[in-house]
Amino acid sequence: MYIDWITWSIWLIGVLIMIIWIVVPIREFKKLLQQKRTELKNKTN
């Protein structure tokens, strides 16, 4: 089976970027969410 290294290398870099930009922003948004929750709690108290 023929494998086109150029196309699949570009594709793999794209997949890698996609995975990083799913994992890291989720972690960062979780932190922001916790901060905001604490802020909103403090306001209502």
CA atoms within 13 A on the CB side of 13: 5
The yes or no reply on residue 2 touching other proteins (CB under 8 A) is yes
SS3 content of the chain, % helix, strand, coil (to 5): 90, 0, 10
Instruction: Among 1, 17, 38, 44, indicate the residue that binds other proteins (CB under 8 A).
Output: 17
Distance from C-alpha of 29 to C-alpha of 24, rounded to nearest angstrom = 9
The yes or no reply on residue 29 touching other proteins (CB under 8 A) is yes
Read off the tokens for 39: 């802020």
At its nearest, how many Å lie between other proteins and the CB of residue 44?
11
Which positions lie near other proteins, rule CB under 8 A? Answer: 2, 4, 6-8, 10-11, 13-15, 17-18, 20-22, 24-25, 28-29, 32, 35-36, 40
